[in-house]
């Protein structure tokens, strides 16, 4: 019991350290980026004076990196994510509706990608002599950048964000699934069962997939990370009003409160997924 508690505490401490590094790194990148203390309203005589006053106040508040980070963290602890620099509305109001849109996109993409990857890998691995032709489409899909794939779909007028993300997830997962299933089909007890005339479908459901449950769970967590990495280019190109598009706009407009909030959400999601590739919080193999 004591070891289990210590393992959980160690995992929480590691997660906290990662979040602190993410917050500090994002703040440094945005705050000291060229043009942070600039505003397009300075070019308009009607708003120039007000914009300069706001920028002066912003410069005084952000002069100390430690003070800037501590101010943001104190606000989060009280449920206040700050005010968007670009839209001048609470960050929470910007994130909440977009979180549901991004979550729906991720769930549909993960489901479609996994169905495609499992079906193709079962067909490709079940034969006696798996052909390399099954590997070629996955390799080509992995070689094409996500943004380029999304642009091609948009120009062709076929497919959408779910298709692009599903193809990316399926291409990555297929290589792992094919290898795992191929090894499972070559197990002595499976070969003996096939020699006895047990059908492939029965072997798959009763023996092969259950034996790979731990590895499949690890691969599922990796799929979430893969989907998150493709979120920004897909949402921007297809004009999906989700967190990825909001993060892109925040980066372009140096909107630090919004960018910090989204980065923190992504870091928590990746860290939670990372606790489990084949491991429970106790550090044991699943």
Does domain 91-270 bear CATH number 1.20.1340.10? no
Q: What is the pLDDT of residue 101?
A: 94
Residues whose CB is less than 8 angstroms from the CB of residue 184 and which lie 6 or more positions away in sequence, other chains included:
190, 208, 211, 212
Describe the crossing of helices 91-126 and 213-229 by its angle, rounded to 10 degrees.
130
In the predicted structure, residue 157 carries a pLDDT above the cut 90: no
In the predicted structure, residue 55 carries a pLDDT above the cut 60: no
Q: Where are the domains of the chain?
A: 2-74, 91-270
pTM for the full predicted model: 0.75
Given pLDDT bands bounded at 50, 70 and 90, which one contains residue 112?
very high
DSSP-based three-state secondary structure for 256: helix
Q: What is the pLDDT of residue 10?
A: 82
Q: What is the pLDDT of residue 121?
A: 86
In the predicted structure, residue 270 carries a pLDDT above the cut 80: yes
Considering only residues 65 and 138, tell me which one the structure prediction assigns the higher pLDDT.
138
Q: From the CA atom positions of the chain, what is the Rg in Å?
A: 24
Within 13 Å and on the Cβ side, how many CA atoms surround 8? Answer: 5
Tokens of 13: 């401490």
In the predicted structure, residue 277 carries a pLDDT above the cut 60: no
The 10s digit of each residue's pLDDT in 69-101 is 676 667 666 666 777 877 878 888 889 999 999
The 10s digit of each residue's pLDDT in 188-240 is 877 777 777 777 778 777 777 788 888 888 888 888 888 998 999 999 999 99
How far is the CA of 226 from the CAs of 24, 31, 59, 166, 167, in angstroms?
24, 28, 37, 10, 11
How far is the CA of 128 from the CAs of 154, 185, 262, in angstroms?
40, 9, 48
The 10s digit of each residue's pLDDT in 159-192 is 889 999 999 999 988 888 888 888 887 788 777 7
Q: What is the pLDDT of residue 156?
A: 86
Q: What is the pLDDT of residue 281?
A: 37
Given pLDDT bands bounded at 50, 70 and 90, which one contains residue 243?
very high
Report the percent of the chain where pLDDT is more than 90.
18
């Amino acid at each position: 019991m004591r070891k289990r508690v210590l393992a959980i505490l160690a995992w929480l401490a590691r997660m906290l350290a990662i979040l602190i590094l993410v917050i500090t790194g994002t703040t440094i990148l945005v705050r000291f980026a060229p043009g942070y203390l600039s505003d397009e309203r300075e070019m308009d005589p009607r708003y120039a004076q007000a914009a300069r006053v706001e920028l002066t106040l912003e410069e005084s508040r952000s002069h100390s990196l430690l003070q800037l980070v501590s101010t943001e963290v104190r606000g989060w602890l009280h449920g206040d994510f700050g005010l968007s620099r670009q839209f001048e509305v609470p960050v929470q109001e910007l994130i909440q509706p977009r979180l549901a849109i991004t979550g729906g996109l991720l769930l549909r993409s993960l489901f479609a990608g996994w169905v495609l990857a499992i079906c193709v890998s079962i067909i490709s691995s079940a034969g006696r002599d798996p052909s390399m032709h099954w590997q070629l489409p996955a390799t080509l899909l992995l070689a094409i950048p996500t943004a380029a794939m999304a642009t091609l779909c948009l120009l062709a007028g076929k497919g959408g964000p779910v298709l692009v993300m599903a193809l990316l997830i399926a291409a990555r997962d297929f290589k792992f699934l094919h290898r795992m299933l191929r090894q499972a089909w070559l197990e002595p007890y499976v070969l003996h069962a096939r020699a006895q005339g047990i059908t492939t479908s029965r072997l798959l459901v009763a023996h092969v997939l259950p034996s790979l449950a731990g590895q499949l769970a690890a691969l599922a967590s990796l799929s979430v990370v893969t989907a998150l990495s493709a979120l920004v280019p897909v949402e921007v190109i297809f004009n999906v009003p989700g967190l990825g598009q909001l993060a892109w706009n925040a980066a372009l407009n140096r909107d630090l409160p919004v960018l910090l909030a989204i980065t923190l959400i992504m870091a928590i999601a990746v860290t939670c997924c990372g606790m489990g590739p084949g491991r429970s919080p106790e550090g044991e193999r699943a």
